[in-house]
């Protein structure tokens, strides 16, 4: 009994660690999944604004206005003013406005989305390498931040400035500027643990399930153990969800004053999207398993719910005037336990074979399983008057 409780408790403790390990192994270490996760960020307004500001500042910091304007031929002055949109204020402000408008239009275009996708795909190996110590890539760990070099974006903006008639933009040198993906004092700690989690993602969930199953098998009351395991694992994942929400708040507070809090929040939410889906899915699954174990027990309230279920289906059958007198009803009654466990096993198999189940998937699988169980109960001859040779059970 004590050993059973210990195993179930260990399973509940390891459940959130298993979710994190799977997230690292399947999401952060898989190129296609990672790119699919970060791709929507290219269309996020907060990220677009942050990239626009960063690229504009970097470009303007590299422009020597005095040198640049001194190389404008006298006959090109009108072309310059036309390219700048006929500025009426200081030339520096006008050029900055032109650069920012050009950057903003590019960042909002499909071309930027394509570049963002390509850049992240090419840099994914470097991103994981950055967390494992390999920094020979566009993604690097610099101090307490993981940064992405936006030099290709600056180059595209430069070409667009030239296309708008600002020929002096050709004098803009190559600009390398960093866009922070993740910034935290714990980056080095994450860097040290990333490889461990990446490896653990392959076996830690199996160990967690094995501990839960072992705890159930060793329990004196297995239905109660199943319910306890389901609720314990759900509680562990709920704690992880609370931790993610608290860490998000602390993380954004740490960035207060940087001007990129909104973009940082969007990036954080997108990166942990799969982990949040896993949290919701396992909480839902744990509750469903616990509820199923409770309803299958012999408790007073469970018995009342079960009786209401059986009587309700019998009332429906009677109201529609359908009977199964003949071979179907008695056969279903004789094999009702096998049929019920077949439905449960089928639901479990569907969940195991689903590539990336979500809470909605769990709910729908449960709904379908309940519907099939209702059909089995509907066809069971034990409640049908006049069914020869059938006894109630």
Nearest to 144 by CA among 192, 179, 182: 182
Q: Flag whether pLDDT at 145 surpasses 80.
A: no
368 token code pair? 């379908």
The pLDDT value given to residue 386: 46
Q: Flag whether pLDDT at 82 surpasses 60.
A: no
DSSP code at position 327: T
Helix axes 261-271, 222-254, angle to 10 degrees: 160
Question: Between 374 and 154, whose confidence is greater?
Answer: 374
The pLDDT value given to residue 392: 43
Phi, psi dihedral angles at 88 (to 5 degrees): -105, -10
pLDDT above 90 covers a percentage of the chain that reads 22
Question: Between 172 and 100, whose confidence is greater?
Answer: 100
Where in the chain does DSSP place strands (E)?
Answer: 139-142, 145-149, 178-183
Q: Flag whether pLDDT at 257 surpasses 80.
A: no
CA–CA dist 249, 265 (Å, integer): 9
CA–CA dist 309, 333 (Å, integer): 16
Sheet holding 178-183, edge to edge: 139-142, 145-149, 178-183
Highest-confidence range of 290-294, 360-364, 389-393, by mean pLDDT?
360-364
Question: Between 284 and 201, whose confidence is greater?
Answer: 284
Question: Between 321 and 271, whose confidence is greater?
Answer: 271
Highest-confidence range of 125-129, 145-149, 265-269, by mean pLDDT?
265-269
Q: Flag whether pLDDT at 166 surpasses 90.
A: no
Task: Give bridge partners of residue 179 from the DSSP assignment.
Answer: 148
Q: Flag whether pLDDT at 7 surpasses 90.
A: yes
Q: Flag whether pLDDT at 35 surpasses 90.
A: no
CA–CA dist 320, 116 (Å, integer): 60
Question: Between 277 and 126, whose confidence is greater?
Answer: 277
The pLDDT value given to residue 287: 93
The pLDDT value given to residue 10: 94
Average pLDDT, the chain: 78
Q: In the chain, which residue ranges form alpha helices assigned H by DSSP? A: 2-22, 31-38, 45-62, 65-70, 77-83, 91-107, 110-132, 151-163, 187-200, 204-218, 222-254, 261-271, 273-295, 300-320, 328-334, 336-353, 359-379
Cβ-based neighbour number of residue 266 at 10 Å? 19
The pLDDT value given to residue 192: 59
Q: Flag whether pLDDT at 43 surpasses 60.
A: yes
The pLDDT value given to residue 90: 54
CA–CA dist 265, 276 (Å, integer): 14
List C-alpha distances in Å: 227 to 94, 121, 288, 293: 68, 43, 9, 6
Q: Flag whether pLDDT at 278 surpasses 80.
A: yes
What dihedral do alpha carbons 71, 77, 80, 82 form, nearest 10°? -170
């Amino acid at each position: 009994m004590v050993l059973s409780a210990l195993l179930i408790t260990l399973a509940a403790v390891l459940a959130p660690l298993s979710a994190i390990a799977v997230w690292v192994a399947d999401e952060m270490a898989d190129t296609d999944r990672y790119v699919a996760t970060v791709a929507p960020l290219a269309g996020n307004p907060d990220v677009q604004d942050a990239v626009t500001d960063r690229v504009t500042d970097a470009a303007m910091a590299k422009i020597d206005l005095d040198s640049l304007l001194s190389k404008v031929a006298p006959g090109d002055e009108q072309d310059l003013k036309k390219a700048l949109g006929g500025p009426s204020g200081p030339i520096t402000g006008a050029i900055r406005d032109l650069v920012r408008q050009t950057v903003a239009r590019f960042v909002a275009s499909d071309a930027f989305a394509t570049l963002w996708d390509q850049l992240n795909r090419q840099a994914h190996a470097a991103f994981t390498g950055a967390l494992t110590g390999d920094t020979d890539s566009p993604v690097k760990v610099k101090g307490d931040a993981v940064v992405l070099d936006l030099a290709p974006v600056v180059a595209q903006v430069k070409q667009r400035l030239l296309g708008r008639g600002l020929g002096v933009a050709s004098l803009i040198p190559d600009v390398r500027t960093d866009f922070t993906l993740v910034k935290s004092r714990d980056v080095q700690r994450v860097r040290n643990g990333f490889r461990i989690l990446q490896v653990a993602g392959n076996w830690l969930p199996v160990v967690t399930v094995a501990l839960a199953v072992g705890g159930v098998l060793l329990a004196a009351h297995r239905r109660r153990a199943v319910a306890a395991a389901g609720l314990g694992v759900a509680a562990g994942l709920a704690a992880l969800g609370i931790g993610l929400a608290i860490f998000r708040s602390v993380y954004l507070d740490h960035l207060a004053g940087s001007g990129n809090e909104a973009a940082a929040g969007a990036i954080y939410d997108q990166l942990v999207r799969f982990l949040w889906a896993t949290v919701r899915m396992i909480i839902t699954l744990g509750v469903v398993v616990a509820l199923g174990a409770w309803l299958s027990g012999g408790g007073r309230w469970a018995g009342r719910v079960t009786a209401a279920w059986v009587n309700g289906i019998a009332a429906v059958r009677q109201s529609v005037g359908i009977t199964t007198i003949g071979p179907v009803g008695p056969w279903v009654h004789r094999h009702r336990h096998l049929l019920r466990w077949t439905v449960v096993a089928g639901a479990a198999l569907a969940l195991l074979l689903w590539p990336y189940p979500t809470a909605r998937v769990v709910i729908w699988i449960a709904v379908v399983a309940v519907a099939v169980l209702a059909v089995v109960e509907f066809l069971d001859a034990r409640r049908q008057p006049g069914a020869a040779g059938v006894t109630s059970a």
